[in-house]
Chain A
Amino acid sequence: MALSRSITLRRIIRKTCWMLELIRGLGRSGFGFFETLGRFNLFLLKILVGIPAVLVRPRLLIAQLFSVGVLSLPIIVVSGVFVGMVLALQGYNTLVDFGAEESLGVVVALSIVRELGPVVTGLLFAGRAGSALTAEIGLMKATEQLAGMEMMAVDPIHRVIAPRFLAGFISMPLLAAMFSAVGIYGGYFVGVGLLGVDEGAYWSQMQSKVDLYNDVFNGVIKSVVFGFVATWIAVFEGYDTVPTSEGVGRSTTRSVVYAAFAVLGLDFVLTALMFGD
């Protein structure tokens, strides 16, 4: 009788231990999450403080603009052309049923300028430039280059992080604008060149329906926000990495995944704010 009771007691203790462990784990990861979030935001503050130091040395910024902006250009331009071409093809097939294929220009221009330009550029930018930034900074940390800089009384945030952040912030809106312009010409090529939509209707309908402030300007604002967030996440993940080869790999993956989440989530919020009324 006593034996069986002690067995049941032990079983209960084991069970509760397991549950306690779960609750402890939950608390640990919750604290970890908020800690990271705090570091993430404080890091932005440090970068912003470091930005004036970059403006004194524009050469650092130019080197980063080259690797972040110019080297991302091919993938952005090629994707832009194809996105525009697909939009024209899809839009034409739907619109032609209603005899409204003259509106193709509006469909292509509005979808690209408002949504696809900023969002697709943001995703591509996170994949192409953001991952490279994270891996580069993470490897610098893993090989103790950042610590070495600190030993030489050079602030790695001024020297390494801020130029990269500023370069991403500047190049993203430019890349998105190029994506949009090229995409509209891709749609023009398919719609007018191959499918035979009237050239004047393509441009005139577009010009009469696309508003400079409401559509073009809001698209640019979106791309600025996405560039800011995607670069911020990329440099933070690199700076905050676990300094091992495995850690750098994980940070690079996280950088792309989080940036993609941030771009898509913020896109919804910004769209609701801009076009919601």
Chain B
Amino acid sequence: MKQTKTMELMVGMLIAAGIAALFVLAMKVSNLGTFSAANSYTLTARFENIGGLKVRSPVTAGGVLVGRVSSIDYDNKRYEAVVAIGMDKAYDRFPDDTVASIYTAGLLGEQYIALDPGGSEEFLTDGSVIEFTAPALVLEKLIGKFLLNSAEKGSGP
């Protein structure tokens, strides 16, 4: 009798573990999962173009990870992308003239936000908006510009 009880327990655990694994696949691996930003404060930045930036993309200052993108929205009135950043509480002394730019890690790598601190005495706090931003560079635009330039040069005397 005792053996059947352990057996039942083990089978129950198997099924629970299987369902938990399915749950992990659904929540953590696929696009259903959400990211809870504990122990952080939120900044907002507006970009003309965010390129391939995604929720949970890294936010760095001087190459060090200081936060992550927590949500991305589009402002229908100002035609700008609104990016909310969950910043680590440990790094709460960014001046309010900090510049946020979107860069690409490597040629095909992920895009991230780099913060360049300014010289102001005022600090960004929870809910502040980063005023100075630089949009992502879109490769096609760059190539288009380059081609246009070389064509103009070629048609000259």
Contacts and interface: CB of A to CB of B under 8 A. Distances in A.
Given A198-B58, A205-B110, A174 B14 contact: yes
A70 interface: yes
A111 interface: no
B7 A63 contact: yes
Interface in B1-50: 4, 7-8, 10-11, 13-15, 17-22, 24-26, 28-33
Interface string B43-77: 00000000000111110000001001000000000
Contacts of A65: 11, 14-15
Nearest to B106: A99
Given A174-B18, A178-B17, A212 B31 contact: yes
Interface string A69-88: 11001000000000000000
Contact of A210 (B21, B29, B57, B58): B29
B155 to A, nearest CB: 36
A101 B30 CA distance: 19
Interface residues of A, number: 42
B144 interface: no
Given A66-B10, A201-B110, A102 B105 contact: yes
Contacts of B139: none
Contact of B25 (A63, A99, A100, A113): A113
Contacts of A212: 26, 30-32
Contact of B21 (A66, A103, A174, A201): A174
Nearest to B52: A208
A207 B26 CA distance: 10
Range for the number of chain B residues in contact with chain A: 35 or more
A70 B10 CA distance: 7
B108 to A, nearest CB: 5
B54 to A, nearest CB: 5
Given A200-B56, A204-B54, A102 B110 contact: yes
A198 B109 CA distance: 12
A217 B154 CA distance: 55
A174 B17 contact: yes
A180 B25 contact: yes
B11 A62 contact: yes
A216 interface: yes
B105 A99 contact: yes
B106 A201 contact: no
Nearest to B6: A66
Given A201-B110, A211-B30, A70 B14 contact: yes
Given A201-B58, A201-B110, A207-B33, 5 more contacts: A59-B4, A171-B14, A184-B25, A205-B110, A215-B30
24 contacts: A62-B11, A63-B7, A66-B7, A66-B11, A69-B11, A73-B17, A99-B105, A99-B107, A102-B109, A171-B18, A173-B18, A174-B21, A174-B22, A175-B18, A178-B21, A181-B20, A184-B25, A200-B65, A201-B110, A207-B29, A211-B30, A211-B31, A212-B31, A216-B26
Interface of B: 4, 7-8, 10-11, 13-15, 17-22, 24-26, 28-33, 54-58, 65, 68, 105-110
Interface of A: 59, 62-63, 65-66, 69-70, 73, 98-103, 109, 113, 170-171, 173-175, 177-178, 180-182, 184, 198, 200-201, 203-208, 210-212, 215-216, 220
